[in-house]
Chain A
Amino acid sequence: MARIVSLLVLLLAWQFASLGASARYLPAPMAVFTAVAAEAQSGALLSNLGATLLRVIAAFALAMILGSVLGVAMGRKRAFDDFADPWVVVLLNLPALVIIVLAYIWAGLTEAAAIGAVALNKLPNTIVTMREGARALDAGLDEMALAFRMPLATRLRHVILPQLAPWLAAAMRSGLSLVWKIVLVVEFMGRPNGVGFEIGTAFQLFDVKLLLAYTLPFVCVMLAIETLLVQKIERRVSRWRPRTA
């Protein structure tokens, strides 16, 4: 309820602001909605949203899988951690723009370069989070599993993954928002389609209406994924925790 009110207030503020400003700089909400409808009708909205979403999913999956494996390995094996940690620190501090530009220079303006660059931006985050998770694994439970000679599959499913789940959820949550923001930049700079590409076009034409017409639906989609999927997963993995207060 409070959320709906808050959204309405935002819409109202936007309407008022647009009255004062020229339509070129800030079009009224209704004008933007009409533009959204027009783009949807032509099919351009859906195909661009789809292209961006696919890139988000690909880069996100790549970063999560690679980052989890590397992070857990680093958290468990001290020698590997000592070796790989400097790389992670470098990657963590490398500006997203540098990674993207280098990827495009080295691998050309290709899909692989685009997705790889986004994944590489997200990778160190996942590694650091999952490494913490692996370090926090309960040694007592490990011993218990060992004493009862649990097979690897059982240990993974019932002992290790449930402990890593909150860390995975945290990495996913922070990862998703990071990835979709960077995907737009990558598209802006070197892809012939997607929301980022359309925003680039809008920028060249100084068309704020078109810019918002792509931004709003995309933000809505990402918010929906965030609330429906990520939060549901988070709730599921913490189901066993006794509720406090």
Chain B
Amino acid sequence: MNDASPAGGPARLEIAIDDKCFRAVGGGAQTVIAGLSLTLGAGEVGAIVGPSGCGKTTLLRIIAGLDRDFRGRVALPAHGKLGMVFQEPRLLPWRSVEDNVRIAAPDADSADIGALFVTLGLSAHRTHFPGELSLGLARRVAIARALAFEPDLLLLDEPFVSLDATLALRLREEIAELVESRGVTTLIVTHDLDEAIYLADRIFLLAARPTHVVEALHVETPRTKMTESEAARLRTAARKVQGALAQ
């Protein structure tokens, strides 16, 4: 658990990426991230909002340790058990829904997995193979997999895309509740401002490529405590920044 680590110590997620560039296939290099820094306290939820193609997925991959080809520093919360929901479901097509979850989270007990399946509406699909699922269902399996793993740090790359509005809302609440109860440090990429407002403690607004954090909004009354006026304040603040960026 995170509360064991000293406050302000390694429990925080601290990221400072000076420079990340990709070599293009046709030669030359393009800088995707430049001078990006963000900090997230233990048990906090950070939402990353930015234009398409600015480097959000790249950022998550760097944090997850999947891309080490960059200049900068990433300090993960203590223990660093990491759960990830990729932008695409990335399930094992040759394993059933249930096996997909169990293989990634071998320590999870059956009751927990069962409860997760109920919440995510997957109970009827336990024995199905990913090829038999709709994209929305497959995304839910990917979410179940990351949650069953009981991570200390949860990375979500646009997890609610292609789910219908009601389900997206329910999952949003589910994740909010999980974060409140277990104190999982969470970083979620989203293009939906409301999603960010109702889920996050901090909202990081990113610039277009080469990207960096333009503005970090602090949410005074996060999640269940969210008020109309606070939501309106955040919305206005975010719109103003986004408007200025679009110029």
- One digit per residue, 1 when the CB lies within 8 angstroms of any chain A CB and 0 when it does not, for chain B 81-114 equals 1111010101011110001000111100000000
* A146 within 8 A of partner (CB): yes
Contacts of B65 in A (CB 8 A): 146-147
**Partner among A148, A150, A240 whose Cβ is within 8 Å of the Cβ of B95:** A240
Q: Chain A residue with minimal CB distance to B131? A: A242
Kindly list 20 other residue pairs between chains A and B, CB separation below 8 angstroms, not including A149-B81, A149-B82, A162-B94. A141-B90, A144-B90, A144-B104, A146-B65, A147-B66, A147-B82, A147-B84, A147-B86, A148-B84, A148-B104, A148-B105, A150-B104, A158-B99, A158-B103, A162-B95, A240-B93, A240-B131, A241-B131, A242-B131, A242-B132
Contacts of A162 in B (CB 8 A): 92, 94-95
Contacts of A150 in B (CB 8 A): 103-104
* A202 within 8 A of partner (CB): no
B contacts with A: majority SS: loop
Measuring CB to CB, which residues of chain B are less than 8 angstroms from any residue of chain A?
61, 64-66, 81-84, 86, 88, 90, 92-95, 99, 103-106, 129, 131-132, 145, 149
Q: Chain A residue with minimal CB distance to B132? A: A242
In the complex the two chains form, is B92's CB within 8 Å of A148's CB?
Answer: no
**Which 9 pairs, one residue from A and one from B, show the smallest C-beta to C-beta distance?**
A240-B94, A162-B94, A242-B131, A147-B84, A144-B90, A148-B104, A240-B129, A158-B103, A140-B90
Contacts of A149 in B (CB 8 A): 81-82
Interface size class of A (residues with CB under 8 A): 10 to 19
- One digit per residue, 1 when the CB lies within 8 angstroms of any chain B CB and 0 when it does not, for chain A 152-167 equals 0010001100100000
In the assembled complex, 8 residue pairs joining A and B whose CB atoms fall closer than 8 Å, in A order, are A141-B92, A144-B86, A146-B65, A147-B66, A147-B84, A149-B81, A162-B95, A239-B94
Contacts of B105 in A (CB 8 A): 148
* A143 within 8 A of partner (CB): yes
In the complex the two chains form, is A158's CB within 8 Å of B66's CB?
Answer: no
In the complex the two chains form, is B104's CB within 8 Å of A242's CB?
Answer: no
Task: Tell me the minimal C-beta distance from B51 to chain A in angstroms.
Answer: 23
In the complex with contacts A147-B64, A149-B82, A242-B129 CB distance below 8 A:
yes
In the complex the two chains form, is B149's CB within 8 Å of A148's CB?
Answer: yes
Q: Chain A residue with minimal CB distance to B83? A: A148
In the complex with contacts A143-B66, A147-B84, A240-B131, A158-B90 CB distance below 8 A:
no
Task: Tell me the minimal C-beta distance from A35 to chain B in angstroms.
Answer: 48
Task: Tell me the minimal C-beta distance from A144 to chain B in angstroms.
Answer: 4
Q: How far is the CA of A241 from the CA of B103 in the complex (A)?
A: 19
